[in-house]
Amino acid sequence: MRIVAGIEELNALVGQEVAVGDWFLVDQERVNRFADATSDQQWIHVDQERARRESPFGSTIAHGFLTLSLLPHLVQQCLRIEGVRLVVNYGLDRVRFPGPVLVGTRIRARVKLASCTGFVGGIQAEWHTTIERESQAKPGCAAVSLTRYYT
């Protein structure tokens, strides 16, 4: 876990890879729960037998939005910013899903700090996060996210 001591230290990390997380297993139960929560029951996610027969991937795959929704958890497992009173997800500028996350695959976050911009009451960080798939060249997700840190 990378611990950043405060806003000044965070500013000094602009342009650098800041953290790489631990591997996290994406299992069928998680995919099924996400499908239930979002009402996205497409067979490629939830029907293991049909996916084995008909999918070009030979397996069920995680929803792209499930992979994206794991971003806060994956980042929190590898990075903590101290000296702030509140952290707010401000949004996303760009999201891509270059490769499918097959059920049973382990993923992790690789986090780079692209910029920091001050605002009244804190600082906004632009993070370039890649969600890597174990043993795969292409990531499962690449996202530019904006996080506000209030001091």
Average pLDDT, the chain: 97
pLDDT score, position 97:
98
56: Cβ contacts below 8 Å, ≥ 6 apart: none
Amino acid at 62: A
Which pLDDT score, from 0 to 100, does residue 53 have? 98
Domains of the chain, with CATH numbers? 2-26+63-150 (3.10.129.10)
Virtual CA dihedral for 119, 123, 124, 125, nearest 10 degrees? Answer: 150
For residue 72, what pLDDT is reported? Answer: 95
Task: Name the helix (H) or strand (E) containing 91.
Answer: strand 86-96
Place of tokens 């600082």: 123
What mean pLDDT do residues 59-76 have?
97
pLDDT at 59: 97
Compute the average pLDDT of residues 107-119. Answer: 97
